[in-house]
Structure 1
């Protein structure tokens, strides 16, 4: 099965309709939100500082994520980075390596979107064991800092381009 991470705006109408049906596992909703919230933040008030990407598996959307740049960066992010948000793998497709495929394709997709960025950053709840394992297993570095987040304590992780 071929996978590729593509910008949301390049999806066909049929693929966008399929993406609308992406379902997050109920245990993950608190961390990633649902596809409606993610698409809402992308489409309701379009901003060049937010880009959406879908992971296609043989042309069918199986995952989605958002990247943000100024002026949409969160307060904790470095201005020379892009931040990862709302990573969602369809609950019916989980366990098939699609999260890992997103992580492998993400650096190139981010650099294509914003060639000037120096790093990718994310904030992840320490209780989100699956996400922590995914990110750390993909080579993201933990900053060692924990801070009180929306749900519990969160860790900041980064992927620095010039160090890879």
Structure 2
């Protein structure tokens, strides 16, 4: 199976419809939100500081994520980085390595979109061990800082680009 991470705007109409149908397990919703909210963020008030990407498996969307830059960065983010949000792997496709595939493709794609960034950051709830394991296993580094998020305490993780 061939996977590739592509910009949302490069998807055809059928693929965009398939992205809108991506669903996560109900217990994951507090951590990553749903596709309605993610697409609303991307499409209702378009901003050059927000980009959407879909992971295609044999040209079928199986996952989605958002990247943000100023002026859309969250309060905890470094202004020289892009932040990862709303990573969602369709619940029927979970456990097949698609989250890992997103994370592997993301650094190169992020630099193509915003060549000036120094790295990527994300915030993950400490009560979300599956996500923590995914990110840490993919090489993201825990900053050691925690702050109170919407659900519980969040950890900030980063992926710094080599100069």
Fold conserved between structures, TM > 0.5: yes
**CA deviation string 1:62-113 (max 9, x = no partner):** 0000000000001110110000000000000000000000010000110011
Which runs of structure 2 are paired with 1:110-121 in the superposition (5 Å)?
A: 110-121=110-121
- Unmatched runs of 5 consecutive residues or more in structure 2: none
Match of 2:143 in 1: 143
Provide the C-alpha distance between the structure 2 equivalents of 1:42 and 1:127, rounded to a whole number of angstroms.
27
State the secondary structure of the residue aligned to 2:46.
coil
Q: Hey, what's the Cα distance between the residues in 2 that align with 1:82 and 1:20? A: 23
Matched residue, 1:61: 61
Alignment of 1:19-34 (within 5 A): 19-34=19-34
Q: How many residues in Structure 1 have an aligned counterpart in Structure 2?
A: 163
Which secondary structure state, in structure 1, belongs to the residue aligned with residue 108 of structure 2?
helix
The answer to whether the aligner puts 1:95 opposite 2:124 as a matched pair is: no
2:75 counterpart residue number: 75
1:43 is aligned to: 43
Q: Alignment partner of 2:28: what SS?
A: helix
Deviation at 1:19, TM superposition (A): 0.9
Cα displacement (A) at 1:20: 1.1
Corresponding residue for 2:132? 132
CA distance in 1, matches of 2:98, 2:118: 25
Could you say which residue in structure 2 is the equivalent of 1:159? 159
After TM superposition, what 4+ stretches of structure 1 lie above 6 angstroms from structure 2? none
TM-score relative to the length of structure 2: 0.99
Aligned partner of 2:4 in structure 1 is 4
What displacement does 1:27 show?
1.1
Name the Cα RMSD after superposition: 0.7
1:162, CA displacement in angstroms?
Answer: 1.4
